[in-house]
Structure 1
Amino acid sequence: MKRGRARSVFIGVCVAPAVILFVIFMLIPTFNVFKMSLYKWGGYSNNKEFVGLNNFKILMEDTNFFRSFQNTVLLITFVTIVTMALALIFAALLSREKIKGQNFFRIVFYIPNILSVVVISAIFSAIYDPNNGLLNSVLGIFRGSDKTPILWLGDQKLVIYSLVIAMIWQAIGYYMVMYMASMAAVPESLYESASLEGAGRIRQFFSITLPLIWVNVRTTLTFFVISSINLSFLFVKSLTSGGPDGSTEVFLSYMYKQAYTNSSYGYGMAIGVVVFLFSFGLSAVVNFVTKREILEY
């Protein structure tokens, strides 16, 4: 009896610091976001006016908010699909194919992940530079140097896809390494048996590799979809600041501007509530769609 009580006390002492930090830095701030969304407040004065759900009514009529919502969904969709697909392809190639310099390629692919978003943004700003950038210089070989340079970060139709490329480049290496770790645990005997049955590399990938690493794929997919909301804000803030003319505003960048630039803190927190609920809803949808029977070997 005493031993069981001592064990419970020991577990409680070990868990208590994490619980306290979680309450202080997660639960209380989240509660305050919901609370402040019900007020009209500039953020720097003591004058707080309770307005109930009025901030959310304004939100539903805000065309700029809906544009930021569309941009966020577009970035999440494009970046997630392309990143996960390329990460799986590269992981399969570097895990199963005998490619010279495999370790070198693993390092090269992973390097973008250890760089900060600010550094990556500086790199792509130089690449996208309309006058001396690498991308326009290469295209100039085929288009001719007399053509008007393409404004990769200045054209409202192109700028969002320029962000997509930068985000994909940053994320591929990390998920490729995670998938390679999962693929390394798949027994080689399964591939040998499949080869004897006449299955090619592509069939083996979809019939053996992908089903057996699906738990990892599902976990990383959910994590990446949610983290893309935060990642999109960092890239927008560093590369475009929401421009040109608000064409690259996303959830968090629009919330930041409303709360800290336009002195509409209460309205910004209302946007934060929507982002919070959207994130949870999106993670639930991804988990439901990707749910399947776990295969073992």
Structure 2
Amino acid sequence: MSEHTVPGSPDELAAALDATGYLPDQGLATAAYLALVMHRPLFLEGEAGVGKTALAQALAQITGRPIYRLQCYEGLEASQALYDWDFGRQLLHLRAAEAAHAADDPARLEASLYDRRFLLARPLLQALEDSPSVLLIDEVDRADDEFEAFLLEVLSDFTISIPELGTVRAQTPPLVVLTSNRTREVHDALKRRCLYHWLAHPDFDREVAILRRRLPEVTEQLAHQVARATATLRTLDLLKPPGVAESMDWATALHTLGARELDPDLAARTLGAVLKYREDTERVQFLRPEALFGG
């Protein structure tokens, strides 16, 4: 699609995503399309590795928009998401002004210290200024309640007030994609502001299609066997069931070792590509490999 193009329907959006290598189901394509045309944030919830972040990246690609990513974490503050002042450059400017005897007018000097060139824009401000854009707010469930409340205020009108410079308003609201791994419940007030979609693990046929599309060097037989084995692992009540990202890593690791099909011994030796907790690895190794991976 050409730059800044908005697909004309959910089916057109699904086809465009497909062309990038991202294979959405009908529900996800519809939710993403509505977020685009309604200028509403899209809240994506689901297990890690199911493609939430990748969807935002694919949407930026097909619409020709720049993408700005805000990675959330405990203790994240508004200044780290909005803007900060470059104190080092301000200090250099102050010293240069003093050397040039420009400090005789304190009011003028103070105003010059808060010029736009000294402002360090963070992801939220960048997304509003560089319009239209895609704003990815990743793992919002890791942020604190206070940051959630602040985020709700920003998303209500896509406006940021900078006391020293004035108000910044997005000419076109960014396409906002919020993701959550559901480590905690996000407040209803934020969810109500958004369109919501739960991303489940793909079914077998779609996972095979994803592996074949993203990893064309992997044999068809290996892709089928990795998808089937990964689906089996997800039934074992693991601490961290593998997502699509892990199945792709696993298939890539097996291919790197020269595998054209999955055998129990090689599967057991490459579990580190698909399982990320010692307890999960021990649980799987305790079971008969043939029962899990064939043979």
- TM-score of Structure 1 vs Structure 2, range by shorter chain: under 0.3
State TM-score, norm by structure 2: 0.22
Structure richer in helix, relative to its length? 1
Please, what TM-score do these two structures have when normalized by structure 1? 0.22
